[in-house]
């Protein structure tokens, strides 16, 4: 197993390329960033969980909110998401889109019977919920004419950086299974990189001066879901306290392809490089919360969620294909001849790897002001301790395990910064009808400005609802806009490769249906 040979695309990250250890630092961030969760009601008011109660969203947000329940409830929230992207690469713009039906939330709240009137503890409640914490749905494509490089140049750089001999590169290929153990080993066997000395390095490639038309695609699926079990109590209708335990499940898959077509190539028409990554994982966390009702109009809330400790398994596959016109050779008389190898595609040995992620500590504090029975306004400040993320493994030897852990810690602390996000929302009530609006601003969590792109996210939400003594129905739409970047490959000379700038727009529409009993 050679985990260091996973290319940047394997991380599927939307940032400038990082060394191989950074791929796992990026995994830690990908599986930790929570955008907006909960029922249609809570998402409609901007995802504010800190200082609101009486909604099933509090089970996975601030569990103290369960203390407001005085009757039991069952709810479910189907959702429909649409993602559109516009990618710019080497001056060319490409658009893509996809839709995804999903289940955003389902929950059961069991409200306990009221206690003796003279007791300070008025009531307790139990809650169980399923929630969709993150969506990994993604799709984009890109194309353009590259006058500086092609993907094969990454293999040339890797071989030269290793200063590896031609004989050693030959040994990185299993002829029986037609598999290579390194990217440069695969390209070498396809005659796409060639030694310039008897020993091997430095390596060069054919058609180096030909412009390259590049066509790339990327598609990802999967989600981060969580089951929560929560318990909360109400002390004297003033202080509400709660705790929950969450069990997480991660499924993430992506496939990508980059096709190079050499314009005017004399030896090669081009090549194609494809990858796919399959990730599964599970984890656990705990959350504690409190809400204090200072007056009938004003209440404050605080919630803290521990890091989620996740065990991750991944399988990575990679395939290289060459479209060969003819490889120049000389015959016994020194005359030029050309031949096409029998093998024109080589897969890299599948990479199975196991590691653990410690997600950041999360904390939120907020306040809600009620305008009698006419509605409320609520706001939350949300802390995300991204610099505290950690990645480790126990599958290597002791020295390599330690190096893996320390390298990723350093990479995380150099790349990410802790963030404080802001959320604001409100609800207007008119009899049984409700109208809601919300806004969330998630700041750019990167310490440096990669690709001159601001990666902050702005979410706008709005919705309506109906609620009577037995039944409620809410519908909400959430619009999310942000910019990201993607680097297909990395070269020693930063001026020879570029990134894809991606404008992302998503609309998530969810319906929550519930009943009291």
Q: What is the pLDDT of residues 179-236, one digit of tens each?
A: 999 999 999 999 999 999 989 999 999 999 999 999 999 999 999 999 999 999 999 9
Q: Express each pLDDT in 326-360 by its tens digit.
A: 999 888 888 888 889 999 999 999 999 999 999 99
The confidence band for 118, taking pLDDT boundaries of 50, 70 and 90, is: low
User: Which tokens in the block code for residue 148?
Assistant: 């500086």
Cα distance between residue 293 and residue 317, in whole Å: 55
- In terms of Cα–Cα distance, which of 106, 110, 121 is closest to 39? 106
DSSP classification of residue 63: G
Q: Express each pLDDT in 44-99 by its tens digit.
A: 999 999 999 999 999 999 999 999 999 999 999 999 999 999 999 999 999 999 99
In Å, what is the CA distance from 451 to each residue of 151, 196, 306? 20, 35, 32
Cα distance between residue 503 and residue 89, in whole Å: 12
User: Which tokens in the block code for residue 38?
Assistant: 């909960």
Name 31's Cβ contacts closer than 8 Å, sequence gap at least 6.
134, 224, 250, 252, 281, 310, 312, 357, 359
Please state the pTM of the whole predicted model: 0.89
Tell me the pairing of strands 179-180 and 345-358.
parallel
**DSSP letters for 124-176:** EEEEEEEEEEEE--EEEEEEEEESS--THHHHHHHHHHHT--HHHHHTTEETT
- In terms of Cα–Cα distance, which of 483, 485, 362 is closest to 418? 362
The CATH number fitting domain 3-516, selected from 3.30.565.10, 1.10.3720.10, 3.30.420.40, 2.40.160.60:
2.40.160.60
Cα distance between residue 162 and residue 159, in whole Å: 5
Quick check: bond before 202 cis, omega within 30? yes
**If you average pLDDT over residues 168-173, what whole number do you get?**
95
Cα distance between residue 385 and residue 469, in whole Å: 41
Burial 313-324 (b: 16+ CB within 10 A, else e): ebebbbbbbbbb
Could you tell me if 38 and 49 are in contact, meaning their C-beta atoms sit under 8 angstroms apart? yes
Percent of the chain with pLDDT over 70: 95
The confidence band for 440, taking pLDDT boundaries of 50, 70 and 90, is: very high
3 state SS of 297: coil
Q: Express each pLDDT in 275-321 by its tens digit.
A: 999 999 999 999 999 999 999 999 999 999 999 999 999 999 999 99
């Amino acid at each position: 197993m050679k985990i260091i040979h996973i290319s940047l695309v394997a991380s599927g990250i939307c940032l400038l390329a990082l060394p191989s250890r950074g791929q796992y630092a990026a995994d830690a961030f990908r599986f930790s960033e929570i955008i907006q969760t909960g029922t249609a009601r809570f998402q409609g008011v901007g995802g504010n969980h800190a200082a609101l109660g009486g909604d099933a969203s509090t089970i996975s947000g601030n569990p103290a909110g369960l203390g407001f329940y005085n009757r039991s409830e069952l709810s479910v929230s189907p959702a429909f998401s649409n993602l559109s992207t516009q990618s710019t690469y080497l001056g060319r713009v490409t658009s893509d889109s996809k839709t995804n039906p999903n289940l955003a939330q389902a929950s059961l709240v069991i409200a306990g019977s009221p206690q003796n009137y003279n007791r300070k503890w008025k009531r307790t409640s139990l809650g169980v919920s399923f929630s969709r914490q993150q969506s990994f749905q993604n799709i984009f494509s890109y194309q353009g004419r590259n006058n500086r490089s092609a993907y094969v140049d990454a293999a040339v750089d890797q071989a030269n950086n290793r200063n590896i001999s031609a004989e050693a590169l030959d040994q990185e290929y299993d002829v029986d299974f037609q598999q290579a153990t390194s990217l440069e080993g695969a390209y070498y066997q396809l005659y796409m990189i060639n030694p310039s000395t008897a020993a091997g390095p430095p390596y060069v490639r054919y058609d180096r001066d030909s412009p390259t038309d590049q066509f790339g695609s990327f598609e990802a699926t999967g989600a981060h879901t969580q089951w929560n079990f929560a318990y909360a109590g109400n002390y004297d209708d003033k202080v509400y306290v709660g705790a929950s335990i969450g069990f997480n499940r991660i499924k993430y898959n992506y496939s990508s392809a980059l096709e190079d077509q050499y314009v005017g190539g004399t030896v090669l028409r081009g090549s194609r490089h494809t990858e796919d990554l399959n990730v599964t994982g599970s984890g656990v966390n705990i959350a504690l919360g409190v809400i204090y009702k200072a007056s009938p109009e004003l209440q404050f809330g605080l919630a803290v969620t521990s890091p989620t400790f996740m065990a991750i398994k991944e399988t990575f596959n990679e395939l290289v294909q060459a479209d060969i016109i003819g490889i120049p050779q000389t015959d016994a008389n020194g005359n030029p001849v050309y031949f096409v190898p029998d093998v024109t595609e080589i897969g890299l040995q599948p990479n199975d790897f196991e590691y653990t992620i410690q997600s950041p500590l999360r904390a939120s504090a907020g306040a809600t002001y009620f305008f009698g029975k006419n509605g409320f306004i609520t706001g939350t400040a949300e802390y995300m301790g991204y610099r505290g993320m950690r990645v480790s493994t126990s599958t290597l030897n002791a020295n390599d395990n330690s190096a893996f852990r320390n390298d990723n810690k350093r990479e995380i602390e150099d790349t990410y910064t802790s963030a404080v996000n802001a959320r604001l929302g409100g609800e207007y009530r008119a009899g049984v009808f409700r109208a809601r609006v919300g806004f969330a601003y998630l700041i750019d969590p990167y310490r440096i400005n990669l690709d001159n792109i601001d990666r902050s996210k702005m979410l706008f939400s709005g919705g309506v609802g109906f609620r009577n003594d037995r039944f409620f129905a809410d519908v909400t739409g959430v619009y999310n806009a942000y910019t990201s970047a993607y680097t297909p490959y990395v070269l020693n000379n930063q001026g020879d490769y570029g990134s894809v700038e991606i404008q992302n727009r998503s609309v998530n529409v969810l319906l929550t249906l519930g009943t009291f009993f």
